[in-house]
Amino acid sequence: MATPLFTIDPDIRQAQTLPARIYSDPEVYALARERIFARSWQFVADVSVVKIPHAVFPFTLLEGCLDEPLLFTRDVSDRVHCLSNVCTHRGTLVCEGPGSEASLRCRYHGRRFDLDGTFRSMPEFEQARGFPTDRDNLPRVAWRQWGAWLLAGLAPALDFDEVFGPVTARVGWMPFDEFAFEPTRSRDYLVRANWALYCDNYLEGFHIPYVHAGLNAAIDYGQYATELFRYGNLQVGYAKPGSADPVFDLPGSSPDHGRAVAAYYFWLFPNLMLNFYPWGLSVNVVRPLGPALTKVSFLSYVWRAEKLDAGAGAGLDRVEREDEAVVEAVQRGVRSALYDRGRYSPTREQGVHHFHRLLAEFLNG
């Protein structure tokens, strides 16, 4: 049996954090690409990109890391498909832009496919023997719809319902189909740090009083709570007593009914964050670009515009820039020859400990 890269003690009271080299080693980064990102579900877009029959939507799965050219289509029978976007003849990209198509045609040599990926025709192949075969069809890729959003995975090893079930159970009462994408409140951030360091920072509220003055003024730090599940966790932020800031109008079926919940922060392994506020949802997709470079996409979906710009869901750009600065400082620090591993706060860093145990599970194979 191969020697594990590292281990994380399941008892947080005595466990040590990740070895510093995990955050900068190119070989570990390559291993994460193979054993974590290729085997997980990745957020793509909202389902409106293939709203009607004949719609096509090419995209790159986890651009900068997996870099896999894929394609969502909706065929004439109103069925959605996720396909490889690489022609099975010579490897050209088949579809080069979103739009409406009756079929797919490679512009290089004219090979045609139906919108479900089935090979249809190819000029100048009349004399080819044993042609066509199933290998001439565009490979199909695993995909799922959750709420109003599409996700895909090259070889997902995580049960989709086990990943997203806890989110549905807690906030599924929200009318996700009423959430509208707001491009003016969405943007990308380039963070000069390892993707896992960015997740570490997200997964604990420990730093809030020290780093986020505005957020700390909006939530009750003493009541901040973390809940763990198999492939993720939830951090619940409560408004301070007597605050006039927006909170959720929770239904009686909610386990939080009667409490002043200001925000639900869901993290789903390995790199997806779903931040629900009374105004709607901020999706954060953490996209690794290298051992010490990460792009974080903030995608805003507005539900109740009148609740924007107040409370825990306000000033997200400022919060992100504060996080970016501290995470980049940590990245510089973990390169030190004098630092290797730290310890966890048993009361404030349960989410980080859980994440590191998942990293050990997947990276060690």
pLDDT for position 365:
86
Question: Residues 6 or more apart from 216 whose CB is under 8 A from it?
Answer: 208, 209
Rounded Cα distance between 240 and 287, Å, is 33
Q: Is residue 6 part of a domain?
A: no
Q: What angle do CA 156, 285, 361 make, to 5 degrees?
A: 45
- Contact predicate 238/244, CB 8 Å: no
138 and 212 part of one domain: no
Band the pLDDT of 1: cuts 50, 70, 90. Answer: low
| Residues 240-269: tens digit of each pLDDT | 999 999 999 999 999 999 999 999 999 999
Give mean pLDDT, residues 291-313: 96
pLDDT for position 2:
77
pLDDT for position 26:
97
Q: Is residue 31 part of a domain?
A: no
Band the pLDDT of 145: cuts 50, 70, 90. Answer: very high
190 and 289 part of one domain: yes
| Residues 69-106: tens digit of each pLDDT | 999 999 999 999 999 999 999 999 999 999 999 999 99
Closest CA to 53 of 136, 118, 140, 114: 114
Domain span at 129: 42-146
| Residues 171-213: tens digit of each pLDDT | 999 999 999 999 999 999 999 999 999 999 999 988 999 889 8
Q: Is residue 53 part of a domain?
A: yes
Among 125, 146, 167, identify where a domain stops: 146
Indicate which CATH number applies to the domain containing 241. 3.90.380.10
182 and 271 part of one domain: yes
Domain count, the chain: 2
Band the pLDDT of 33: cuts 50, 70, 90. Answer: very high
Give mean pLDDT, residues 22-30: 97
180 and 251 part of one domain: yes
| Residues 285-297: tens digit of each pLDDT | 999 999 999 999 9
Q: Supply the pTM of this predicted model.
A: 0.96
99 and 240 part of one domain: no
Q: Is residue 73 part of a domain?
A: yes
Residue % of the chain over a pLDDT of 90: 94
Q: Is residue 9 part of a domain?
A: no
Full 3-state SS string of the chain: CCCCCCCCCCCCCCCECCCHHHHCCHHHHHHHHHHHHCCCCEEEEEHHHHCCCCEEEEEEECCCCCCEEEEEEECCCCCEEEEECECCCCCCECCCCCEECCCEECCCCCCEECCCCCEEECCCCCCCCCCCCHHHCCCECEEEEECCEEEEECCCCCCHHHHHHHHHHHHCCCCHHHCEECHHHCEEEEECCCHHHHHHHHCCCCCHHHHCHHHHHHECHHHCEEEEECCEEEEEEEECCCCCCCCCCCCCCCCCCCCCEEEEEEEECCCEEEEEECCEEEEEEEEEEECCEEEEEEEEEECCHHHCCCHHHCCHHHHHHHHHHHHHHHHHHCCCCCCCCCECCCCCCHHHHHHHHHHHHHHCC
